[in-house]
Chains A and B, each alone.
Chain A
Amino acid sequence: MTETSYINPFSSEAKKIVSKLGNINNLNKPDTTLKSIIEMTRNQELKKELPETIKQLALKKYEWALNRKLKDYDHRKYQYLFNPELYEYDVVSFYLLCQIIAMEYGSDSYEANEVLQMQHDLITQRLEKIAVDTPELLSVILNELTDTSNLYWYDIKEILQIGNIEFNKLLLVNGRIIIEYDDFYEQFADKIEGRRPHDIYQIVAGNFIKIRLITSYITYYMKEYMKNVDEMSKKQVEPNPLMKQAAEEIRKIQVKTDEIKYKNQPKGSFSDDKPTPYNPEAFPPCVKECIKGIKSGGRNDAIVLFLTPFASYARLYPGIFSQKKQVKITDVDPSLNITHDQVIPLIYDAAQSCRPPLFKDQPQEKININAKLGFGMHDELKREYEGETHWYTPMSCDKIKLHMPHICKPNKDCVKIGNPLTYYNRMRKIKQKGGQ
């Protein structure tokens, strides 16, 4: 029988496990039971180094987070992460990893996001297996987290904002989310013709909604936990040496993964973390639409909120989304020459093409453009102002559809692309390879 703490590290059972196994002095000691569970895991590859301590298990999870994205990723190396018998060690290593990341890197760091995503994917895969083998367990786990018969969307706004569940996938009746089959049958059975209500339930809700809710809850609690640890650690004078040491090992895992990732890349391939000349042919339709000029009404948003971030990142740091770190314009354009000579003219030309020209009646928007580039609310774009505001990243396609639907005229290449900058990068690569 799979234990619920194998999925939910915030359950009361999981908390008991932490008190039993979580003594910090034991986290770096080899544990024979852990070793045995791992070695006895079905399909586990035994050649490579396997974790023998809880600390090593925590680090292996981080390694899995990065390695699973590599081309030559071998799932058999990490098969033990999907062995339900590991649940006690899994819980303790979960808390250890959260603490290392939050204390040493911060709860808003790139590393924290990696770990959140890793935990989300890890439990999703585990839950998908449970959905096949013991689907009734999904309700048990979910009921530990919430009352599934009486759940209203507005009571779980923070959970929904995690973004695992599209709002329109919720089956809503007067604000209540229909989760269980009995409720589904009661509400919708009379609206189903020619099919078994249970089949329809499985398609539109069933295990899918339960899995998404569970992962959203756990990701949310995990985020909150890391935030608390981060805040607490700022008040703490001396962090435990084990944490320092583990943080250093995490850094090494990152370096090693990057080496593998970039080792086989052909020379002359894309350097997306430095200034790259514009390739206007690769611009997505929305950018082309905006450059042509916008009619009165949506001009400000289109030029300031949409085009400014796109034009600046596309020219100065097109790989921002894959690099996942915060940068300033002067990190990549220290003299600001490219910004002054190429980025700003592109934005100003588009503003001039608006009907009426944007700056004619709204000259203050020049200041807003500077602000979106990270240079505060000033007339001039000067180094000393940098950092007063953030360098805004380009809007997602979903946001564009809401903010300025008039410029979103997708072509066939827009399908499954979530951000205009991603479109641009992909199209540049296709065009460089001599594609269409």
Chain B
Amino acid sequence: MEIELKPATYRERTLYYKEEWDVNDIPDFILNSLYSREFGFDHIGQGPNDRYKTFTDPLRLKRFMKAKKPFAAYTSVAYYDKPEKRHGWEKAEFVFDVDAKDIPIRTCECKPGEVCDKCLKQAKEIVLNIGDILKSDIGFKNLNYVYSGRGYHLRVLDEHAMDMNSEMRGEIIQYVLGGKVPDMEDAKKLRYNKFNSYTLSFAYYQNFKNWMNYTIQHLKKDTPVDIDEKLLKDTIKYKDELPDHWGFFTQDIGPIRYKKLQEQIARTNLAIADTKVSIDLKRILRLPSTLHSKVSMKSMLIKNIETFDPFDKAVPKFVYERK
């Protein structure tokens, strides 16, 4: 059965919160810190304007949800001493938000603002890449993948991630997404003037290469990226030389244009995830287990990201009952 990603009606929402939603589907990492988090709700589909809500225990949250059947429910990534006032900030999860509709290099035929199976798969691929780097290079261990309804959230709960300030988060985002061209000034100081970072296959150099390759492989002539037409055309023409023959690729593009391309790709890489979410220490994020009413999908904690298929696991029952 083909799933249509259309908005849920009020009746469907009511049905979902009455029959399907279970407070115990909220991840433990949220339930265990309920009293420290701010909650926000959108009751009519115009954004979360019912903020500063708090719940001291799951039962109260359950009653609220069952009674209000919100259009959307959110919880803060931050932990506060007084969440009802957003005072006494203690720490905040470090989050990567990959929304399928906002991926600048998606190759599907979706209209702006829409998502499909193909771009959701791409969002999953991206969030997996991000997770790999967070583990192998950055050394984070407590990674939680959440299906958000139209993409994925990766929520890092390591203690040494949670106390980072915005600047430090910004530095890590740049590292993880390949958002900065590797600086080879030190090589020049040692008189390796023509040394190219693509010859290095470890640490950030490898990560940047991976993302550059990923982005280039997904470029199409109408991809909305800030690369001039001729350079974009040539990049697509020679993309098959990657990832094995960076030297040939650079030669074919031309060293000066390659430098420019690197800069432009780095900027595109940064737009692959919503970096505003990652650096925001007081953000509210969709509450896993609740309904994404715009597309009638469940937001949920993912047990195994490798095998997760949103069209198998995150479709509410009422969708199957639609005529």
Q: Check if A166 sits within 8 Å of B138, measured CB to CB.
A: no
CB neighbors of A among B12-52 (8 A): none
Closest to B133 in A: A172
Interface size on B, residues (CB 8 A): 47
Q: Check if A402 sits within 8 Å of B170, measured CB to CB.
A: yes
Among the 9-residue stretches A31-39, A81-89, A201-209, the one with 4 or more Cβ atoms under 8 Å from chain B is: A201-209
Tell me if B298 is interfacial: C-beta within 8 Å of chain A. no
Contact of A161 among B165, B183, B200 (CB under 8 A): B165
Q: A406 to B270: give the CA distance in the assembly, Å.
A: 10
Which residues of B are found within 8 Å of A170, using beta-carbon distances? 203-204
Q: Check if B168 sits within 8 Å of A160, measured CB to CB.
A: yes
Min Cβ gap A154→B in Å is 4
Q: Check if A403 sits within 8 Å of B279, measured CB to CB.
A: yes
Looking at chain A, what size class is its interface with the partner chain? 35 or more
Closest to B197 in A: A204
Q: Is the interface of B mostly helix, strand, loop or mixed?
A: helix
Contact of A405 among B165, B180, B275 (CB under 8 A): B275
Q: A124 to B200: give the CA distance in the assembly, Å.
A: 27
Q: Check if B202 sits within 8 Å of A188, measured CB to CB.
A: yes
Tell me if B58 is interfacial: C-beta within 8 Å of chain A. no
Closest to B207 in A: A168
Closest to A189 in B: B202
Tell me if A48 is interfacial: C-beta within 8 Å of chain B. no
Q: A157 to B138: give the CA distance in the assembly, Å.
A: 13
Min Cβ gap A228→B in Å is 21
Q: A195 to B195: give the CA distance in the assembly, Å.
A: 11
CB neighbors of B among A131-177 (8 A): 152-154, 157, 160-161, 166-176
Tell me if B244 is interfacial: C-beta within 8 Å of chain A. no
Q: Check if B190 sits within 8 Å of A202, measured CB to CB.
A: yes
Which residues of A are found within 8 Å of B270, using beta-carbon distances? 401-402, 405
> When A172-B137, A403-B279, A405-B270 are in contact, do A161 and B167 touch as well, CB less than 8 Å?
yes
Q: A196 to B127: give the CA distance in the assembly, Å.
A: 35
Q: A187 to B163: give the CA distance in the assembly, Å.
A: 29
Tell me if B226 is interfacial: C-beta within 8 Å of chain A. yes
CB neighbors of B among A281-334 (8 A): 298, 301
CB neighbors of B among A173-217 (8 A): 173-176, 178, 187-188, 191-192, 195, 200, 202-204, 208
The 6 A-B pairs of least Cβ separation, nearest first, read A175-B139, A167-B171, A154-B160, A168-B204, A174-B139, A191-B201
Instruction: Write the residues of chain A forming the contact surface with B, with a CB cutoff of 8 angstroms.
Output: 152-154, 157, 160-161, 166-176, 178, 187-188, 191-192, 195, 200, 202-204, 208, 298, 301, 398-399, 401-406, 408-410
